[in-house]
Amino acid sequence: MSDKVISFIQPSRNNLKYLKWSYNSIRKNLSPIHEICWADDFSDDGTWEWMQEIAEKDKNVRIIRNSGPDRLGHTILYDRLVELATSDIVMIYHADMYACPNMDVEVLKHLQRGKVVSATRIEPPLHPDGPEKILMDCGIEPEEFKEQELLQYIDERVGQFDNAPTTEGIFAPWAIYKDDFLAIGGHDPLYAPQSKEDSDIFNRFVLAGYETIQTWRGFVYHMTCRGSRFKDGAMRNPAGQVFMKGRESSEWLAQNLRSTRNFIRKWGHMVKHNEYLKPIIPPKYDVGFVVENCDTNMLKELEPWCSDIYGDWVGHKGYGVNQYIEEEQKDTQFNLSKKIHSQHIVPKNGVVVRFDANKLTSQNFQMLVNLSEIIQDSGEIGTMHLEIFQLDIKSLKAYEKDLILVK
């Protein structure tokens, strides 16, 4: 057994029954020396009272609380808990995860400075399968959890991973040295309270040169999405198949849209990764759109995909643009007033894309979505034409490494 101490980082909001289940597994199946750091995000289900009770008995539990009235979200609370942690190693760990025996030992075998190590998730079939996880129905709620069935499966099957004990990729739960986490500034509050903060920091880990490792000999059982995304939990139909009781909550849908738009603004593309969830990071170029016949509806669609946008703002005489900036600015830290310009301003961007908004279709819009790869593949300074677009490439300087550090 390793003598290295992990600080488990677990924010929680109204997830008390899952948090109890998770805590019991950590204390039952892992080394007792590990620290558990909890943050209650203004819960009203008794979470804070229970945390206080446990912290009185378990001296390796540290707790903080957001006293409201607004939630902070795990994007902020992860980092506050990392600061609170007293050990050199921290593990981002969801409140709905069960720690399987020796998960800590297997993760620590691979963890060094400059590396981020994930355990492998075993999940009920609530989401599509993938090669980075194992689908197995051992219960969808703590009260029906089939612990012995899970542990027997691990005992019988873990040997099958002897020939490939690790793959490259990252997903929670993941462990890292605290100073490596702090060296890049932690999570970006751009995504608060939640959504896409993980994809963002994964990109930055890779760009910073950290190695991402997933061990296939250390496991968690993950109930999945028991925060705000599927607040009603899961259920079974008469045939025994599992599914979420309701669709994504309106809160989660709205925040996911905001965070997705901010991820695109920052990186210039959607989240990309390979089948094992290792990030794929296209270059980030300085791109300006010069758009004819662009009304504010089209502005909303186009604005996140470029560094600057220049338009004639047809029929709005500036009012619609100002209204868009006022409404959208509440959801982003990017200064939209410095990003949206009149067509009379001469673009100074390294890449200038000119087109008529009236000719945009869902098909050719995908060229804008994949613009980074198109520019990268061209590899040349000069002018090129693609369907309705004229690309004036003046510079191929890429800026993605400037995004590693959150200041």
Mean pLDDT split into 10-residue runs, the chain, 407 residues: 89 95 98 98 97 98 96 97 98 97 96 98 91 94 95 84 84 98 98 97 98 96 74 66 66 92 98 97 98 92 98 67 93 97 94 97 97 94 97 97 96
Residue 346 confidence (pLDDT): 96
Query: How far, CA to CA in Å, does 32 sit from each of 58, 111, 187?
Result: 10, 19, 28
Q: Where are the domains of the chain?
A: 6-267, 287-403
| Cα–Cα distance for residue pair 159/177, rounded to 1 Å | 28
Fold classification of 6-267 (topology level): Spore Coat Polysaccharide Biosynthesis Protein SpsA; Chain A (3.90.550)
| Cα–Cα distance for residue pair 49/217, rounded to 1 Å | 35
Q: Which helix (H) or strand (E) holds 248?
A: none
Please name which of 322, 328, 372 lies closest in space to residue 351, comparing C-alpha atoms: 372
| Cα–Cα distance for residue pair 153/330, rounded to 1 Å | 49
Please name which of 30, 189, 31, 181 lies closest in space to residue 97, comparing C-alpha atoms: 30
Residue 156 confidence (pLDDT): 86
Residue 234 confidence (pLDDT): 65
Number of residues assigned to the chain: 407
Residue 127 confidence (pLDDT): 84
Residue 229 confidence (pLDDT): 56
Query: How far, CA to CA in Å, does 250 sit from each of 235, 247, 254?
Result: 20, 9, 6
| Cα–Cα distance for residue pair 236/244, rounded to 1 Å | 9
Cβ atoms of 259 and 194 closer than 8 Å: yes
Residue 42 confidence (pLDDT): 96
